[in-house]
Chain A
Amino acid sequence: MQKVFARPATLLETGFHFCPGCHHGIVHRLLCEELDRLSLADRAVGVPGVGCGVFLYDYIGIDTCEAPHGRATAVATGIKRVLPQQFVFTYQGDGDLGAIGTAEVIHAANRGENITVIFVNNSVYGMTGGQMAPTTLLGQRTTTSPAGRDCQNDGYPLRLTEMLAPLEGVAFAARVSLHNPAHVKKARRALQQAFETQLEKRGFSFMEFISACPTNWRLTPQQSIAHMEEQMLSVFPLGIYKDTTAGVLQKEGESANAVL
């Protein structure tokens, strides 16, 4: 028999520190598969922000540069401008990119920096102990919203992909989910497009992965999958929100149905 699926070469043998059922491992694998497929490992630079994804350098055999909390897109901008031949991506969570790093990502997107942003959205601050994030769903209980998020007091879930896609500097923006194997495959296809956007120097590419945080959701991994399908995907609709090769900005509902 022939081996048809194995760990990508760029993904090191180190075991992940992630909790059982966490989707960061899948995002790491998809990144490595794409880096291998495009032979980018030798000239890729990853910029992890602060969060559970911060140990990217332990798991992926590429150059990385740590960024201060939220500033990954600013650091990546600098690296890409000084070393334009390198492939530069950031790896940020929703606490990093959606809260403290909102200003940086908006302006990097608006400048059309030729970088790729990997945004892992699990609707909670995972690493710091499960506090409410800007992306936390209404009614979701966290350590800082013990009665559930209330829009009167805490506002509404922030939709980063919808916010960034209309900016003219953004060449590619997509939101994908990882709750079952079919969606993982769709996520890989979208990630391919995001990587190719940078390689073709078309501008800023943005990938949002909807993922689970069973520990801070206080759910089992199986319950987390159900929570993603039933609660998260209605607030964060999937789809390719912008692809400059496709011509015009696709409408939310159409793209969600037609593409993903």
Chain B
Amino acid sequence: MGKIVINQEGCKGCAYCVVACPRELIMIDQSRINNLGYNPASFKDNKDNNKAECTGCALCAEICPEVLIEVYREKRRAGDCT
């Protein structure tokens, strides 16, 4: 269906994306500390969640203040990036 790629080295752990994801597929990775000194947001692999799968809705990317999330989807829609 879809997937996201988070640039974790720039993440400041605000967790706006965690709250925005309607499928609860993003978590703050407490086991990692990035170069900025924050626990970065991390995408849970689709395979781990039988019920919830990323749809590529891009709500996480809309709210990310650092613009670190890239979104991929099977089909493009009107308004997608060029």
Report the Cα distance A23→B65, complex, angstroms: 6
CB of A18 closer than 8 Å to a CB of B: yes
CB of A157 closer than 8 Å to a CB of B: no
Q: Do the beta carbons of B71 and A4 come within 8 Å of each other?
A: yes
> Chain A's nearest CB lies how many Å from the CB of B55?
11
Chain B 2-31 residues near chain A, CB threshold 8 A: 2-3, 10, 12-16, 19-20
Our pick among B13, B19, B80 for the contact of A20 (Cβ within 8 Å) is: B13
Our pick among A3, A29, A214 for the contact of B70 (Cβ within 8 Å) is: A3
Q: Do the beta carbons of A2 and B74 come within 8 Å of each other?
A: yes
CB of B33 closer than 8 Å to a CB of A: no
Report the Cα distance A5→B17, complex, angstroms: 14
The segment from A178-186, A233-241, A247-255 that touches chain B is: A178-186
Residue of A nearest to B62 (CB): A181
Q: Do the beta carbons of A4 and B14 come within 8 Å of each other?
A: no
User: What is the predominant secondary structure among interface residues of chain B facing chain A?
Assistant: loop
> Chain A's nearest CB lies how many Å from the CB of B62?
4
Q: Do the beta carbons of A181 and B20 come within 8 Å of each other?
A: yes
Residue of A nearest to B72 (CB): A1
> Chain B's nearest CB lies how many Å from the CB of A28?
8
Our pick among B3, B62, B76, B81 for the contact of A6 (Cβ within 8 Å) is: B81
CB of B82 closer than 8 Å to a CB of A: yes
Residue of B nearest to A2 (CB): B76
Chain B 29-58 residues near chain A, CB threshold 8 A: 36, 38, 56, 58
Q: Do the beta carbons of A1 and B10 come within 8 Å of each other?
A: no
Report the Cα distance A4→B82, complex, angstroms: 8
Residue of B nearest to A187 (CB): B62
Our pick among A2, A15, A20 for the contact of B75 (Cβ within 8 Å) is: A2
Known: A3-B72, A6-B70. A26 touches B65 (CB 8 A): yes
With contacts A1-B3, A15-B36, A221-B14 known, what are 11 further pairs, Cβ within 8 A? A2-B73, A2-B74, A2-B75, A6-B71, A16-B66, A21-B12, A21-B14, A26-B63, A28-B67, A222-B15, A225-B19
29 contacts between A and B (CB under 8 A): A1-B56, A3-B72, A4-B73, A4-B80, A5-B70, A5-B71, A5-B80, A5-B81, A6-B70, A6-B81, A7-B67, A7-B70, A15-B10, A15-B66, A16-B65, A20-B12, A20-B14, A21-B14, A25-B64, A25-B67, A26-B64, A26-B65, A28-B67, A180-B63, A181-B20, A181-B62, A221-B14, A221-B16, A222-B19
| Chain A contact residues, CB within 8 Å of chain B | 1-8, 11, 15-16, 18-26, 28-29, 36, 180-181, 184-185, 214, 221-222, 225
